[in-house]
Structure 1
């Protein structure tokens, strides 16, 4: 599978430009996803083409190599385009390739979060959250720096794009953004200490020789001590590779 990155130069207003871009790629034969309007796709007997656009950056991938080449040539006739070659970095996500497959991580982004939070030199811990901890809305003193709590938790939420191992604890600390307390910040620092131990962890996508789709889900019962609501979680594998996951109260 080929994955390349390009940069499109434009001077028009973003919304007007996206309208033009949408018309151009659809004229080529791509369809826009009904679930994510930044994703375009096409399929044929030769394979598939996937295109993701973010502002003026696009990522093109798929199994139809000739179709991808044709798309890139077509875009060059419509826009000032610079081909940046195989994808290595996109929106904080690092991409590397080896004989095993394609590895996605956010190592640099993770280290930036540790630096921003003042935890770059903190001691490490082996788990992202203390087992069986039950955080309460009124436990501990109110934090003086609410903005820092919200900023760090927001960055941790983005880090879950390649770190499903912190999805649950991040979903827990995200529930206290309105009035975070010291106990909640302690839980955040515990996540950060865990990340300090594993900054380069990510997702490996490799060919397992099948295209089986598997899904797993679980939920606790009345897990939240304040609301008595349950927390559910799920993960979906395609061809043995994790592609979707979530933890939510």
Structure 2
């Protein structure tokens, strides 16, 4: 706590002053956390002073709050390209990142608990952002983006969290996820130069080569890069009490169809909701459970014992291989290949179809999705067309993103879809009446 207070004071986060008339100070509290390594050992104990931002008033204490973070598809694409081209991949963490953001609004806060001043009527006028403020992440992102752009980086239009500069041997790519940063470059000295620049500007914690990023474990060798969430998966199993459960080989009961109202409502719906949220993040490296988790997430408003049983089935599947992940080989060709399908009117309640696709860059899967379509399709052909349209949007975005990483497609991207009716429509115009609305 003393270390945190000293960091706040050295950063000139606030100044002590009397509370002006008509102003209401927001509260603050201490939050304690134990930071763990990938193997589960304790790295350090952490105390964080957090402002009670939920008491802030829109238009008075804050205006804009949105701050971009890197998409998981962007992170995977970034790692595939860097691994394929044998770039050096380093990671770093910004110390007290949110404290570097400058505040434009006039915000007052009561003194931190345990560190009250001699004058009980004094409050802290915040000069810089603080953890917990609604605009804190936005102000920090703006400060970091300005610093990187000032050093010659270009911010990607495809994903604002990606910054690039240079070409070929002098190329450097920076990927930002709040205060966690990945840096990739074929030139190790350029990475060290960037670290020195960021350390002078913000004070960083150099974590060295990529190893454990956002709960994802990364292991690299001469064959390629392996990503998994073994520790995260084991934590889920431990919290649910399924560490010693009997493993199974499928993430769902074949042919199972879940609906609202099936079974008895759970007395504590929070258990189901927390489990589904944690499983959603596990899909970052486990595409095999994506469809099952997509089905489970539709019932978080009113989960029943039948839905919880289906979620436990997924846990038993995870138990079979808790360290399973995705492997990105170093050989092959950086060319996109896409496979998709749709399940026509599979939702028994809404009769909506489900789109599913997976996108490969070479032999590495970088993007996948299982999502219910927004509108009802009148035929399986229409469902397939809508799936094709949604997948094409994702592919076009990836092409733009790869261009920012200096990866040019040598030939057009081919999308594979099992759609015999589309072939029949093309060959026989008598079906025009059925499809003119799409």
Q: Under TM normalisation by the shorter chain, which class is it?
A: over 0.9
Structure 1 partner of 2:255: 132
1:202-233 per-residue CA deviation (whole Å, 9 max, x = no partner) reads 01111233111101110111111111111110
1:160-183 per-residue CA deviation (whole Å, 9 max, x = no partner) reads 000001001000000111011111
Structure 2 partner of 1:119: 242
1:30 to 153, 162, 166: 153
Structure 2 distance, partners of 1:241, 1:214, is 10
Structure 1 distance, partners of 2:202, 2:252, is 48
Q: Describe the SS at the equivalent of 2:256.
A: coil
Structure 2 partner of 1:144: 267
1:85-110 per-residue CA deviation (whole Å, 9 max, x = no partner) reads 10111111011122321111000000
Structure 1 distance, partners of 2:185, 2:360, is 19
Structure 2 partner of 1:40: 163
Between stretches 115-124 and 47-56, larger displacement belongs to 47-56
Which structure is richer in relative contact order (CA contacts within 8 A, separation 6 or more)? 1
Structure 2 partner of 1:236: 359
How far residue 111 of structure 1 moved from its aligned partner, in angstroms, is 0.5
Q: CA-atom RMSD, angstroms?
A: 1.7
**Structure 2 residue 185 is matched with structure 1 residue 49:** no
Between stretches 30-39 and 122-131, larger displacement belongs to 30-39
Structure 1 partner of 2:327: 204
Calculate the TM-score normalised by the size of structure 2.
Answer: 0.54
How far residue 73 of structure 1 moved from its aligned partner, in angstroms, is 3.1
Structure with larger Rg = 2
**Structure 2 residue 189 is matched with structure 1 residue 82:** no
Q: Is the 8 A contact 1:207 1:239 kept in 2?
A: no
Structure 2 partner of 1:6: 92
Structure 1 distance, partners of 2:199, 2:159, is 24
**Distance change (3 Å), C-alpha of 1:49 and 1:151:** same
Gaps of 5+ in 1: none
**Structure 2 residue 289 is matched with structure 1 residue 183:** no
Structure 1 distance, partners of 2:367, 2:186, is 21
Q: Is the 8 A contact 1:28 1:71 kept in 2?
A: no
Structure 2 distance, partners of 1:25, 1:179, is 46
Structure 2 distance, partners of 1:40, 1:113, is 34
**Structure 2 residue 343 is matched with structure 1 residue 220:** yes
Q: Describe the SS at the equivalent of 2:266.
A: coil
Structure 1 distance, partners of 2:213, 2:341, is 32
**Distance change (3 Å), C-alpha of 1:110 and 1:73:** same
Structure 2 distance, partners of 1:131, 1:63, is 47
Q: Describe the SS at the equivalent of 1:46.
A: helix
Gaps of 5+ in 2: 1-86, 101-128, 130-135, 373-438
